[in-house]
Amino acid sequence: MTVGLTHIIVVSTVLFFIGMYGLFTRRNMITMLMSIELMLNSVNINFVAFNKYLYPDKMDGIFFSIFIIAIAAAEAAVAIAIIINLYRTHKSIDVDDVTDLKQ
Partner 1 sequence: MNYSTAIWIMLLPLANFVLLGLGKKYLKNIAGIFSTILLFVAAAIALNIAYHYFFVDGKQNGVYQTINVCQMHWLSFTETMNVEIGIQLDALSVMMLVVVTFISLMVHLFSLGYMKGEERYCNYFSYLGLFTFSMLGLVVATNLLQLYMCWELVGISSYLLIGFYFQKPSAVAAAKKAFIVTRFADLGLLIGILILSFNTNSFHFQTIIQTLTNTQSPSFISITASSFLGMSTLTWALVLIFIGGAGKSAMLPLHIWLPDAMEGPTPVSALIHAATMVVAGVFLVAKLFAVFAIDVTALNIVAYVGTASALFAAIIACTQTDIKRVLAYSTMSQIGYMMFALGVSKYGSEEGLGYSAALFHLFTHAFFKSLLFLCAGAVIHLVHSNEMKDMGGLKKLMPITHIAFLIACLAIAGVPPFAGFFSKEEILSAAYQNNKTIYIIALLTSAITAFYMFRLYFSIFWNKPYQHHHHHRGEGTITMKLPLIILMLCAATVGFIPFSEFVSSDNHPFHSEIHIGFSVLPVALGLFGIAMAALFYFKQSDKPDKIANSLQVIYKAAYRKFYVDELYLFITKKIIFNCIAKPAAWIDKNIIDGCMNGVAFVTSFISSSIKNMQSGKVQQYALYFFAGIAALLVTVLYVWK
Partner 2 sequence: MKAVDIIFYCIAIFVLTTGVLAVTTRKIFRSAIWLLFCLMGVAALYFWMNANFIAAIQIAVYVGGIVVLIIFSIFLTQQSGNQMPKPNFLRIIVASITSLIGLGLMLQLFAKQTFKTTNKNFDIDIATLGKQLLSTDANGYALPFEVISILLLAAMVGCIVIAMKPKTQL
C-alpha 36 chain-centroid distance:
3
Q: By CB under 8 A, which span of 19-27, 44-52, 63-71, 82-90 interacts with partner 1?
A: 19-27
101 is a contact residue toward partner 1 (CB under 8 A):
yes
Positions 58 through 87 that interact with partner 2 (CB under 8 A): 59, 62-63, 65-67, 69-78, 80-85, 87
Tell me the C-alpha distance between 93 and 70, whole Å. Answer: 25
Of the pair 25, 103, the CB lying nearest partner 2 is at 25
* ∠ Cα 28 93 100 (to 5°): 115
43 binds partner 2 (CB under 8 A): no
Q: What is the DSSP letter of 91?
A: S
Distance CA 2, CA 21 (A): 30
* Contacts (CB under 8 A) with partner 1, residues 25-44: 32
CB of 26 to partner 1, least distance (A): 8
Nearby residues of 61 by Cβ (< 8 Å), 6 or more positions away: 47, 48, 49, 50, 51, 52, 55
Is 20 a binder of partner 1 (CB under 8 A)?
yes
Binding site for partner 1 (CB under 8 A): 20, 23-24, 32, 95-96, 98-102
